[in-house]
Structure 1
Amino acid sequence: MPWTLRTEFTFDSAHVITGYDGPCGRLHGHTYRVRMELTSGRLRPSAHVRRNIMVADFRTLKWAKKDVMAGGLDHTYLNDLPELGDDTTAEVIAAYIHRKTMERIRADLEPGDDGADLKLRVTLWETPDSSCEYWE
């Protein structure tokens, strides 16, 4: 793929891993760090510029860093998200961020563009030295 778009950001959230026998089974929080890497074989328009000059808009990739009241994950209780519920491990959160990001990217595509060449890799750090990668 000729282009790879990369961005990183953080957000703060709390969660409980229900049924976990240990500290993660109690309410606690993290400053999550996220790296998005989106590859594409061509340039496209975005919701903010309608010319073929972007892989995607950085604003689209950084949705999760927004406050929960603005549709992001910052300062949210992750267990309240219906798609996560009690399953708030780094693996499940990374897959959730991937899925929601791809939905946003696809919403920006032109009619007839299936985005088949777009490949997204999400890396989520729960702590400075513990991370999970998810991609399809």
Structure 2
Amino acid sequence: MPWKLSSEFTFDSAHVITGYDGPCGRLHGHTYRVRMELTSDRLRPSAHVKRAIMVADFKTLKWAKKDVDVGGLDHAYLNDLPDLGDDTTAEVIAAYIHRKTMERVRADLPEGDDGADLRLHVTLWETPDSSCEYWE
């Protein structure tokens, strides 16, 4: 993969791990830190520039840092998200962010481009020293 696009950001959210025997079973919050790394064999246009000069738009990778009221995860109660429900571990959240990001990246692709060469690696920190990585 000749190109790797990287972006890091934080968002604040609350959750409960339902059925957890301990403090994580109670309502609590985190300042999550996310690193997105998207690799590609080639450059493409984006929704904001029609020339093939990007792996993807940074805006597309940073969707989760937006407020929950505009489709992001910032200041969300994660258990209210239909795709997460009671399963709000770092592992499940990292996979969710991966899936939703790839949906957005693919939605920006030009007609006829299936994005088969695109690979996304998501790292999610729940605390400064505890993280989870997800990729396909």
TM-score greater than 0.5 by the shorter chain: yes
Distance 2:128 2:46 in 1: 33
> In the alignment, is residue 51 of structure 1 matched against residue 51 of structure 2?
yes
Equivalent residues in 2 for 1:1-136, closer than 5 Å:
1-136=1-136
SS at match of 2:121: strand
Instruction: State TM-score, norm by structure 2.
Output: 1.00
Mark the runs of 5 or more structure 1 residues left unpaired by the alignment.
none
**Percentage identity across paired residues of the two chains:** 88
Distance 2:73 2:45 in 1: 26
Runs of 4+ aligned structure 1 residues displaced above 3 Å come to none
Distance 1:92 1:128 in 2: 18
Shift of 1:21: 0.1
* Alignment-mate amino acid for residue 87 of structure 1: D
Distance 2:75 2:116 in 1: 33
Shift of 1:64: 0.1
Instruction: State TM-score, norm by structure 1.
Output: 1.00
Distance 1:54 1:82 in 2: 32
Shift of 1:70: 1.1
Q: CA RMSD in A?
A: 0.3
Shift of 1:78: 0.1
1:50-107 deviation line (CA, Å, top 9, x unaligned): 1100000000000000000111000000000000000000000000000000000000
Distance 1:107 1:56 in 2: 11
